[in-house]
Amino acid sequence: MYKIELGKSGLQVPAVAVGCMRISNMSEKEVSDFINTALENDANFFDHADIYGGGKSEKVFGDAVSPSMRENILIQTKCGIRQGRFDFSYEHIINSVNGSLERLGTDYIDILLLHRPDALMEPEEVAKAFDELKAAGKVRHFGVSNQNPYQMQLLQSCLDMPLCVNQLQFSVMHTPMIQSGINVNMYNDSATNRDGGILDFCRLNKITIQPWSPMQYGFFEGCFIDNEKFPELNKTLGDIADKYGVSKTTIAFAWILRHPAKMQPVTGTTNLTRLTDCIKANEINLTREEWYEIYRSAGNILP
């Protein structure tokens, strides 16, 4: 699998990251097969959060990773979402990381992300927590999720280390950050800038965008592949998949990878065949015509 540099971290990471949000109810053997399938396909970057499965996702993952495997894998986790509130306080960040380290059975986290913007964020307080975690060797790199450019700039203004990542919802069926850039200054709904121009901001500042829910439409409403709600999209994905001799899942993933921002999409599947199909997308380089055809088939308009 080809690699990209994660933001300005200097860290080389695989083009496709493996999401662990849905693994909490898998058996020990299933988790082990899941991790091994990813590793056999060069996908050694795993995405977690303290809240996935109420902490169980990190625990079953940590139980399956032996100490000898640890240095060959990259673990990213997140903090900041609590029941009924968001919390970027110093105490919560420190406590959350300590809990993740314990559940994951490791001494360090490769990348820590702040999960969702906390309206009450004090950037100096976050900086204090990040400094301590880095100095203690508990966290190596930092980033955010679901933030707009000004939120990132505000936080970055107090940090000594670069924010390397912004994890954002993005799939062929969830494209506001592309639509607004195509429909600049138009009166249609696609012209609405919902994210403050985060795509270009991240490109300008060398911050890696990690698309989450790459196969979903809406907010966890379901997968769009083989979904009768999206006949045109499935027809186009199917035709292009036949041409390359791969699955529609691979093409939907390749559509994300084709964007020059060099995004690192995060898979969500727990199915080993689909996991392999997602990873295989790094071998496909869609043409400009194919990319736009898929974009239009998802119901998007061009001005």
Ligand X SMILES: NC(=O)c1ccc[n+]([C@@H]2O[C@H](COP(=O)([O-])OP(=O)(O)OC[C@H]3O[C@@H](n4cnc5c(N)ncnc54)[C@H](OP(=O)(O)O)[C@@H]3O)[C@@H](O)[C@H]2O)c1
Contact segment (CB under 6 A) with ligand X among 153-161, 195-203, 269-277, 292-300 equals 269-277
Instruction: Examine residue 212 and tell whether it contacts ligand X (CB under 6 A).
Output: yes
Instruction: Examine residue 208 and tell whether it contacts ligand X (CB under 6 A).
Output: no
Nearer residue to ligand X within complex by CB, 52 or 130: 52
The binder of ligand X chosen from 225, 233, 240, 298 (CB under 6 A): 225
- Rounded CA-CA distance 32/44 in Å is 13
What minimum distance in Å lies between the beta carbon of 217 and ligand X?
Answer: 9
The catalytic residue positions are: 52
Q: Which residue's CB comes closest to ligand X? A: 268
Instruction: Examine residue 269 and tell whether it contacts ligand X (CB under 6 A).
Output: yes
In terms of C-beta distances under 8 Å and separation of at least 24 residues, what long-range contacts does 233-236 make, across chains too? 233/172, 233/173, 233/294, 233/297, 233/298, 233/299, 235/297, 236/293, 236/294, 236/297
Instruction: Examine residue 249 and tell whether it contacts ligand X (CB under 6 A).
Output: yes
Do the Cβ atoms of 58 and 35 come closer than 8 Å?
no
Instruction: Examine residue 267 and tell whether it contacts ligand X (CB under 6 A).
Output: yes
Nearer residue to ligand X within complex by CB, 271 or 285: 271
Do the Cβ atoms of 165 and 112 come closer than 8 Å?
no
Instruction: Examine residue 176 and tell whether it contacts ligand X (CB under 6 A).
Output: no
Amino acid at 50: D
- Rounded CA-CA distance 158/131 in Å is 11
- Rounded CA-CA distance 160/170 in Å is 29
Interface mask toward ligand X for 77-106; x: CB under 6 A: ------------------------------
- Rounded CA-CA distance 127/122 in Å is 9
- Pairing outcome for strands 85-86 and 81-82: antiparallel
- Rounded CA-CA distance 198/196 in Å is 6
The binder of ligand X chosen from 89, 175, 213, 276 (CB under 6 A): 213
The binder of ligand X chosen from 146, 151, 183, 234 (CB under 6 A): 146
Contact segment (CB under 6 A) with ligand X among 18-26, 36-44, 99-107, 172-180 equals 18-26
Cα dist from 248 to 63, 176, 253, whole Å: 33, 22, 9
The binder of ligand X chosen from 43, 47, 176, 280 (CB under 6 A): 47
Instruction: Examine residue 215 and tell whether it contacts ligand X (CB under 6 A).
Output: yes
Nearer residue to ligand X within complex by CB, 183 or 256: 256
Can you give the binding site for ligand X, defined by CB under 6 A? 19-22, 47, 115, 145-146, 167, 212-216, 223, 225, 249, 266-271, 274
